Amino acid sequence: MKQEDDLLKRVGTKNPFKVPENYFENFASDLMTKLPKKEPDSAPLNITLWQRIKPWIYMAAMFAGIMLMFKMFQHIREHASAVHETMVVEILDIPDQYMETITNESMMDDYTLYQYLTETDANY
């Protein structure tokens, strides 16, 4: 606190910065006179037909791309479900003697087999 008082005594409370008189009254007009003159446009620009329709063509291409993307995803989903159904049918066609061999060699106990079958049934 004492240091602050010493600084105030030495420097004072008077604002050292001053604005010239009538500075802001004529500020806008002075600034406009200092700016370079703007040249008027000599001739209007000729807009071609392509420049007019280009945004519309881009937008149509974008929507066509989105539509094709959705069609592709739908085709992939249908193809994946068809492959999955084919695999299930192929597994069901395996004879029992091979299934016994597969389960015996997989070292799967009865509890694990039961758990696997219940999980598989729940997914369908």
The band of 100, judged by pLDDT with boundaries at 50, 70 and 90, is confident
Torsion angle in degrees (nearest 10) through CA of 100, 104, 109, 113: -40
pLDDT computed for residue 120 by the predictor: 61
pTM: 0.35
pLDDT computed for residue 78 by the predictor: 80
- Rounded Cα gap, residues 62 and 54, in angstroms: 12
Residue 108 has pLDDT above 80, yes or no: no
Q: Give per-residue pLDDT as tens, 29-82.
A: 888 888 888 877 776 778 899 999 999 999 999 999 999 999 999 888 887 776
